Amino acid sequence: MKKYLKLLRVEQWVKNFFVFLPLFFSGKILDQNLFLLSIVAFVLFSLTASSIYIINDYSDIEQDQKHPEKCKRPLASGAIKKPTAVVILVALLISIVVAIGVVQSFNSLPMWKFAVIIGTYFVMNLCYTFKLKHVAIVDICIIAIGFVLRVLAGGYMTGIPISQWAILLTFVLALVLAIGKRRGELINAQISGKTRKALDGYNVQFADIALSISCALAIVCYLMFTLSPEVQTKFHPRVFYTVIFVVFAFLRYLQQTLVYNKTESPTKIVYKDHYIQVTLVLWLISFLLQIYFK
């Protein structure tokens, strides 16, 4: 069972929690029906992402076998045979299509918008897998757009409108994560050699500048989001004070990256850095108080 979970990359499903953001920021997370629909969106998006991971691993078997870490993946290591992976892939795709049809039968909202988002994500990542992941800058933009599609999927599934600033914030935040990951790969490449073609279009200096710009844009987008008329009206006007925690978290992340030269991916830094963890908890508590206890 473990090898199949590894093939589906279940640990990467944490990214798909972005589908819950529209529900969270709407102040309706206690609505059982909307919460259930968000769970459905999460599962369907996760299955779609897993299908892409299978296709990616299938197409990269030879390259992965030469990589010190990726050689342990089920297909590269031979733990799962190619025909078995194809059967699992087809089963996933059929399950997604059937599930969307079933959800439409009891959801009053039209599911075609959600289906378009899922289809767009699938096709975009197919292009990424076979070509665009080798094109610098385009590769990180596709990753960022993928997170935007997750948020849109959650919004279309529940019928919750999403503000323009929230969409921009999601895109820029995802860009920070993608650039941070590329920077880590560049540092590691200086020791073990480059692991992906797209790194030819990056260097550490460019990554540092792009990362700083993206962090600044993320802070501005979050500030504008909290000051937008719909947010000020829906929540307590003091919600913009939560930007203090956001600024500290980004500054701490930049410190870990640029000063202490941490080469880990941004998600790993978040898992390990207690300052960022505490800041995120304080932000969450303060935001919850503004939304649900105003």
Model pLDDT, residue 263: 64
Q: Are 111 and 169 part of one and the same domain?
A: no
Q: Are 55 and 81 part of one and the same domain?
A: yes
* Nearest residue to 47 via CA among 102, 103, 9, 85: 9
Q: Are 97 and 191 part of one and the same domain?
A: no
Is residue 28 scored above 90 in pLDDT? no
State how far the Cα of 266 lies from the Cα of 253, in Å rounded to an integer: 8
* pLDDT band for position 163 (cuts 50, 70, 90): confident
Mean pLDDT of 210-229: 94
Is residue 54 scored above 70 in pLDDT? yes
Model pLDDT, residue 2: 85
Model pLDDT, residue 218: 95
Domain boundary among 119, 145, 162: 162
If one counts every other C-beta atom within 10 angstroms of the C-beta of residue 2, the result is 8
State how far the Cα of 24 lies from the Cα of 115, in Å rounded to an integer: 22
Mean pLDDT of 212-222: 95
Residues spanned by the domain of 103: 1-162
Is residue 294 scored above 70 in pLDDT? no
Q: Are 222 and 137 part of one and the same domain?
A: no
Domain boundary among 162, 181, 214: 162
State how far the Cα of 19 lies from the Cα of 202, in Å rounded to an integer: 31
Mean pLDDT of 190-211: 85
* pLDDT band for position 196 (cuts 50, 70, 90): confident
Mean pLDDT of 228-233: 85
Mean pLDDT of 148-167: 94
- Range with lowest mean pLDDT among 83-87, 132-136, 232-236: 232-236
Q: Are 157 and 171 part of one and the same domain?
A: no
Model pLDDT, residue 289: 85
* pLDDT band for position 221 (cuts 50, 70, 90): very high
Model pLDDT, residue 282: 95
Mean pLDDT of 273-289: 91
Is residue 195 scored above 80 in pLDDT? no
Is residue 68 scored above 70 in pLDDT? yes
Is residue 65 scored above 90 in pLDDT? no
Q: Are 104 and 172 part of one and the same domain?
A: no
DSSP 152-215: HHHHHHHT----HHHHHHHHHHHHHHHHHHHHHHHHHHHHH---SGGGGG--HHHHHHHHHHHH
Mean pLDDT of 104-109: 84
- The rounded mean pLDDT for the chain is 90
Q: Taking each helix axis as running N to C, give the angle between helix 138-158 and helix 32-59, from 0 to 180 degrees, rounded to the nearest 10.
A: 150
Model pLDDT, residue 25: 85
Q: Are 45 and 14 part of one and the same domain?
A: yes
Q: Are 106 and 176 part of one and the same domain?
A: no
- Structural domains in the chain (count): 2
Report which of residues 13 and 191 the model is more confident about: 13
Q: Are 114 and 227 part of one and the same domain?
A: no
Q: Are 124 and 185 part of one and the same domain?
A: no
Q: Are 27 and 153 part of one and the same domain?
A: yes
Is residue 118 scored above 70 in pLDDT? yes
Model pLDDT, residue 193: 67
CATH number for the domain including 30? 1.10.357.140
Q: Are 61 and 203 part of one and the same domain?
A: no
- Range with lowest mean pLDDT among 57-66, 97-106, 167-176, 189-198: 189-198
Domain boundary among 162, 194, 220: 162
